Structure 1
Amino acid sequence: MLSATTTIPAPFRYPFRIFFLSTAFSAVLLIPLWLFFLLGGGTLQPALPALHWHQHEMLGAFVNSAIAGFLLTAVCAWTGTRPVAGWPLAALWLLWLAGGGAMLFGSYPWLAMAVDLAFLPAVALLAARPIVAKRQWRQLPLLAVLTLLWLCDLGYHLSGDTQWLRAAMLLTGGLILVVGGRITPAFSRNWLLQQGQPTADISTWRWLEVLTLASTLLLVLTEASGQVPAGLVAVVALVAGLSAGLRTLLWRGWRVRREPLLAILHIGLLWVAAGFLLRSLAGFGLVTDAVWLHALGAGAMGTMILGVMARVALGHTGRPLALPSGITLAFGLIFLAGLLRVIAGLGWLPWAFGIHAASLCWTVAFALFIWRYFPILTRPRIDGKPG
């Protein structure tokens, strides 16, 4: 008997399909648009000041789309429930699209704010229904992070103060630590076992988990408050960065270096640790905020999102976990994009060359994803199952 989803166009059969495509397309469009605005922008100007628009949309358009695709797909696997699909999924996607359009072209600030702020609560409600129905209480921290991200967005819209966007960047780093902590050591162990290798040295220390996540949450709160002395914020960031780095190193990423789908996850987590450590240096006045923001943005967010999308799209369409040609290059380019942007921020490269080179690497990386994954995400599963 045919599944009901077979009558739905493939991109709207599962949340990861349309939202992973949207994430990649937004990545390809947002950075060139930012450079366009940075270099003058002609008569086209976004609804927000150009720098604010860049910071906001890397979260609101790029990250939020990836969150929706991953979370609403993962919830189905965790709870054994049917995915959001068809018209409800299309409506959610159109809401995301309207939010991005409002931020780019909106002439009515309050309307743009309302549309932009509607998306994350919609995602959270759709994710909460199966979680509550199946009493999967261990998933509630993810919904709490979504709520905090929404509050950061609200704080920015009401105040216009970018401290809220900075807090959201740090919180996104925390979300990467939570999700990465669930999948990275487990996937690494499974792969090593398949290779006939021991896994006893891949360890997780409970106290370190608590310290990492608690210090990250405290860092977010101190950043959002704007009232904590810079030196104290720097100390909190130092603790968060060191604990996040040690936590990742305990998972022995070098042992899975021959498998790009796993290595990229470890690299993404190390970028988070680097971002927090650079935030500490910024608190001590040793680097500018642009350095740690781009370590988390171009580095951690770009790397982890690309890596997770590449893996999830294969597994959930019935394909073996073997990268399509060109995606290993995309992984290398996204790492280089983060590295170049951080180095340029440190003044070790000419600024104009650094941002243009980093932007090119970022754009080509996600363009390669679109090229290789568009057929995968827009066609039915190869095994004939729903998904």
Structure 2
Amino acid sequence: MARLAILFAAAHRPLFLAGVLNFALLMMWWTATLFDIHIWPIGMPSNDFPAALQHAPVMLYIMLPAFFFGFLLTVFPRWIGYADLRQIQYLPVGCAFIIASILAYYALFAGQHYWLAAALCVAGFGWLIALWHMVLLILAERRDGKGPTWHAWSAFAALCLSLAGLGFSVVFLITLDGQAYLVASSIGTFGFLLPIFFTVAHRMIPFFGSNVVKDYVSWRPYWVLALLWIFLIAHLLFSLGGYNAMRFVSASVLCALTAILLRRWWPSQKAPGLFMVLIWGFAWAPIGFAMIAVASLIEYTASGIGLALAPVHALYIGMAGSLVIAMVTRVTLGHSGRPLAMNRIAWLAFWGIQLAAVARIVAGARGEHGHWLVLAGLIWVLLVTPWVWRQAGMYLSKRADGKPG
């Protein structure tokens, strides 16, 4: 009971715990599945439901949302200027994602995709509770004549849009409709994952930089965030419609916008590692969009040369994986009363993500080569798991400085 009291002492604790455990367990399952398919049969469950189509829904709608809600339920009230959420408000959200995670891994390891649909439904229940508390804060802001706080509105819009993607994922898992899978993955990537990361980065990277880098110029114009939204939604629609020429245009613009942000955010003077991992992680965004633009051009010209899933994994593993390590490490250290500095285990995890991203890109460039896929998974599991256990221990322990929370 004491451990549970500690776990639910702050909004980020249960959700980050679910997130980091998923960060390891999902890749353990996926790597074992890839090994079973491409290297040597080890008895992983097999049925008519392709394993390759199961890890994306878990990543997009259970693993990453746990991190997102853990962060946003902590900072959302502060962004708008209200008191922190009470335990009775955030506890159901944390419990929903913990239960959803348990159901998801039973489904994956038992080969029961209907249970995976149930897991997504449980996560969706927690999602709706979180959105309810967010909309109350937004309405309070309007009632009190404050704001609008555009970062809060941007994050809220992405979370609302992603509910549609979660719904399509459930439809896919029940009906095995391939079009539903495409819609769910596209919304989850361009209407949810990327808008959330870009919104948080747009607000937090300049803020962190101005606090830790001498003479740092904080640059975060809202027009950039608005353009990112416009071209992400355009790219989502072009992807669903199969308009490869227009996908090239939208991806090129997104590449340019993220490159501009990267250039303006890059410190001109020495910066601590905990800040630089944010910058290096964000650097994968223009790389990923450049690869998507090239892939779109190749598909448009039907040249016969392809990058398969390499471009999107530059964003999934390279950018998203790196920023999860960077942001979760920082938030966890700050909210556990520990010094804000990258430790050896965090560095190991961060560079492990870089190596895994490179291996996954090589796999895609070589036609989804099985050995490279397994290598990418093994790198992730071996180098990131120690960070996961260290983080999990902090969520189950009292603050080092003795303060509540």
What is the TM-score normalised by the length of structure 1? 0.86
Deviations 1:33-88 (Å, cap 9, x if unpaired)? Answer: 113333257363589531110111111221111111111111243334233426x6
Q: SS at 1:326's partner residue?
A: helix
Question: Counterpart of 2:302?
Answer: none
Q: Matches of 1:99 and 1:301 in 2, distance apart?
A: 21
Q: SS at 1:319's partner residue?
A: coil
Compared CA separation, residues 333 and 46, structure 1 to 2 (3 A)? farther
Q: Matches of 1:89 and 1:18 in 2, distance apart?
A: 9
Letter in 1 for 2:231: S
Q: SS at 2:87's partner residue?
A: coil
**Equivalent pair of 2:325/2:346 in contact (CA under 8 Å):** no
Query: What value does the CA root-mean-square deviation take over the aligned residues?
Result: 2.8
**Equivalent pair of 1:219/1:236 in contact (CA under 8 Å):** yes
Letter in 1 for 2:262: T
Q: Matches of 1:107 and 1:228 in 2, distance apart?
A: 28
Question: Counterpart of 1:199?
Answer: 216
For 1:45-124, list aligned pairs within 5 A: 45=46, 49-78=50-79, 79-85=81-87, 89-104=90-105, 105=107, 106=112, 108=114, 111=118, 114-124=121-131
Compared CA separation, residues 334 and 211, structure 1 to 2 (3 A)? same
Deviations 1:159-178 (Å, cap 9, x if unpaired)? Answer: 44332203312231222111
Q: Matches of 2:316 and 2:47 in 1, distance apart?
A: 20
Unmatched tracts of structure 2, length 5 or more? 172-176, 299-304
**Equivalent pair of 1:37/1:45 in contact (CA under 8 Å):** no
**Equivalent pair of 2:190/2:236 in contact (CA under 8 Å):** yes
Q: Matches of 1:313 and 1:170 in 2, distance apart?
A: 27
For 1:271-290, list aligned pairs within 5 A: 271-285=284-298, 287-290=306-309
Question: Counterpart of 1:140?
Answer: 153
Q: Matches of 1:218 and 1:199 in 2, distance apart?
A: 33
For 1:179-194, list aligned pairs within 5 A: 179-192=200-213
Letter in 1 for 2:20: A
Is 1:307 aligned to 2:323, yes or no? no
**Equivalent pair of 1:47/1:102 in contact (CA under 8 Å):** no
Is 1:380 aligned to 2:392, yes or no? no
For 1:128-167, list aligned pairs within 5 A: 128-135=135-142, 137-138=148-149, 139-158=152-171, 159-161=177-179, 162-164=181-183, 165-167=185-187
Unmatched tracts of structure 1, length 5 or more? 1-5
Range with greater deviation from structure 2 (75-84 or 267-276): 75-84
Among 362, 370, 375, the alignment partner of 1:343 is: 362
Among 5, 9, 14, the alignment partner of 2:10 is: 14
Is 1:236 aligned to 2:244, yes or no? no
Compared CA separation, residues 176 and 46, structure 1 to 2 (3 A)? farther
Q: Matches of 2:47 and 2:119 in 1, distance apart?
A: 11
Question: Counterpart of 2:24?
Answer: 28
Range with greater deviation from structure 2 (242-251 or 121-130): 121-130
Deviations 1:267-295 (Å, cap 9, x if unpaired)? Answer: 22221222222222221225334112211
Q: Matches of 1:131 and 1:378 in 2, distance apart?
A: 32
What is the TM-score normalised by the length of structure 2? 0.82
Letter in 2 for 1:381: R
Question: Counterpart of 2:346?
Answer: 327
Range with greater deviation from structure 2 (202-211 or 136-145): 202-211
Compared CA separation, residues 7 and 62, structure 1 to 2 (3 A)? closer
Q: Matches of 1:112 and 1:370 in 2, distance apart?
A: 22
**Equivalent pair of 1:47/1:107 in contact (CA under 8 Å):** no
Deviation of 1:212 after TM superposition, in Å, equals 2.8
Question: Counterpart of 2:189?
Answer: 169
Q: SS at 1:250's partner residue?
A: helix
Q: SS at 2:54's partner residue?
A: helix
**Equivalent pair of 2:262/2:279 in contact (CA under 8 Å):** yes
**Equivalent pair of 2:318/2:357 in contact (CA under 8 Å):** yes
Q: Matches of 2:71 and 2:25 in 1, distance apart?
A: 21
Percent identity, aligned pairs only? Answer: 23
